[in-house]
């Protein structure tokens, strides 16, 4: 069962034994899933609870709510709220000062006349800006809104909640200030020119949710023309975490990745980046399949082998990765015994892990655990710490290995909220970046 809607039911229940069980039973019987339960108020005769429930559809919400109301016995639903919407009210980020101004002395130190001295220092030695300003700890999160999550081309403003989310993760996990930059153009010349004109204010550039194929040109040009780290997260962030997941799966299945034949179904931004990452890691036989001829050409140019059918790819590959967004694309009869299969499309994978294992796969997983948050914060933190000019494949591979080393036995990847994994990725990337300089 796939849940896509989260609602909080504010329910007042008379304090009689079994009354809450009646509510819980209705929710379960109707196929919804109870999450957190918070007691908001305990009265003399009733208790008010905030019950978090996951539903399949809006119609599913209406049906369950009506069933609860039919219970009677004094049970009342006061409100149906949405925690996700609440979390986004007013936005999720806010720029604040690191220095309080409580006196004229404070004002003179942080602004005029004291600030003039700092300006002169930076004028004489521009690298001092990394020390005396926020530049060295800031990353611009740049989007044109053409590939927002699984929603597609919905525009940069509609994609702002995602950019704010990235900024929250940067701040919470590695202390970086992420600043969303929304562009009203997708023209590569205009995007590149804009970022070049504003890049002096940032220590790095994270390209986010920029669609294929223009994302390839934009990233390549910015990496070549700027002297600060640039990374397209949908390409390389995804590829880093996917490589980590593959390495963990290989460890579980007893497979040596560098000697395995790997097939990639879907050669969009993420798929092609995964292919390149695996080849950089040492995979010698890298196969790919896609309906788009330009995507196939890009894989050939990168050194991979294009196969014309998924059936052929499934037959030849020891490890299969799929990033097509097409639910049920891989049929059970295509699975070869002993294969490792990562069907990463969310929320609906190309084949469910249960079906793949039932068909004979040695290991199978979907994309719910393969989350970019395991990679991009530590990658940029390490790059900024090392004052790296670029993010290179050795740095990315080091990040993937750090994720693997932080993974507990039996897990595919670490929990994304584990602070240790972000520290490990930071240190690994910083070490490699320092060695390269």
**Hey, which residues are catalytic here?**
111, 166
Read off the tokens for 370: 């393969």
318 phi and psi, to 5 degrees? -85, -30
Q: Report the side by side order of strands in the sheet with 46-55.
A: 33-42, 46-55, 5-14, 76-81
What 3-state DSSP class applies to 50? Answer: strand
- Are 197 and 170 spatial neighbours (Cβ–Cβ below 8 Å)? no
Contacts (Cβ under 8 Å, ≥6 apart) of 219: 207, 230, 231, 232, 235
Other Cβ atoms closer than 10 A to 111:
11
Q: What are phi and psi of 350, to 5 degrees?
A: -65, -30
The two three-digit tokens of residue 389, written as one number: 């000019």
CB-based contact 261:315 (threshold 8 Å):
no
Q: Are residues 287 and 307 in contact, defined by beta-carbon separation less than 8 angstroms?
A: yes
* Alpha-carbon gap, residue 306 to 199, rounded angstroms: 37
Q: 304 by DSSP, 3-state: which?
A: coil
- C-alpha 361/C-alpha 121 separation (Å) is 62
DSSP assignments along 196-258, one per residue = HHHGGG-SEEEE-SPPTTHHHHHHHHHHHH-SS-EEEIIIIIHHHHHHHHHHHHHHHHT--GG
- 113: preceding bond cis by omega (within 30 degrees): yes
């Amino acid at each position: 069962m796939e849940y896509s809607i989260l609602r909080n039911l504010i329910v007042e229940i008379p304090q009689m034994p079994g009354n809450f069980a009646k509510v819980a039973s209705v929710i379960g019987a109707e196929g919804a899933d109870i999450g957190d339960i918070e007691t908001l108020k305990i009265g003399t005769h009733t208790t008010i609870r905030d019950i978090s429930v996951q539903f399949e559809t809006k119609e599913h919400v209406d049906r369950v709510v009506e069933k609860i109301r039919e219970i009677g016995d004094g049970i009342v639903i006061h409100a149906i709220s949405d925690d996700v919407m609440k979390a986004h009210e007013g936005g999720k980020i806010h720029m604040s000062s690191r220095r309080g101004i409580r006196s004229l002395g404070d004002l003179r130190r942080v602004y005029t006349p004291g600030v003039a001295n700092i300006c002169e220092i930076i004028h004489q030695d521009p690298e001092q800006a990394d020390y005396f300003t926020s530049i060295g700890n800031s990353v611009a999160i740049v989007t044109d809104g053409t590939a927002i999550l699984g929603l597609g081309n919905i525009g940069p403003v509609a994609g702002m909640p995602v950019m704010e989310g990235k900024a929250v993760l940067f701040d919470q996990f590695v202390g970086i200030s992420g600043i969303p930059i929304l562009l009203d153009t997708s023209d590569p010349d205009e995007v590149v020119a804009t970022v070049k004109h504003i890049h002096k204010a940032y220590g790095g550039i994270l390209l986010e949710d920029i669609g294929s194929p223009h994302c390839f040109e934009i990233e390549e040009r910015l990496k070549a023309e700027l002297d600060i780290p640039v990374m397209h997260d949908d390409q390389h962030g995804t590829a880093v975490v996917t490589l980590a997941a593959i390495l963990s799966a290989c460890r579980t299945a007893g497979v040596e990745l560098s000697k395995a034949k790997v097939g990639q179904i879907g050669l969009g931004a993420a798929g092609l980046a995964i292919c390149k990452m695996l080849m950089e890691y040492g995979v010698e036989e890298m196969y790919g399949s896609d309906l788009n001829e330009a995507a196939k050409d890009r894989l050939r140019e990168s050194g991979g082998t294009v196969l014309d059918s998924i059936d052929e790819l499934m037959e030849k590959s020891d490890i299969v990765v799929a990033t097509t967004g097409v639910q049920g694309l891989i049929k059970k009869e295509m699975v070869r015994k002993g294969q490792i299969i990562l069907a990463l499309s969310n929320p609906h994978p190309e084949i469910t892990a249960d079906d793949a294992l039932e068909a004979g796969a040695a290991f199978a997983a979907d994309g719910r655990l393969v989350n970019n948050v395991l990679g991009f914060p530590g990658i940029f933190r390490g790059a900024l710490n090392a004052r790296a000019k670029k993010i290179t494949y050795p740095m990315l591979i080091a990040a993937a290995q750090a994720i693997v080393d932080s993974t507990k036995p039996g897990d595919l990847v670490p929990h994304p909220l584990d602070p240790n994994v972000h520290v490990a990725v930071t240190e690994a990337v910083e070490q490699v970046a320092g060695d390269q300089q």
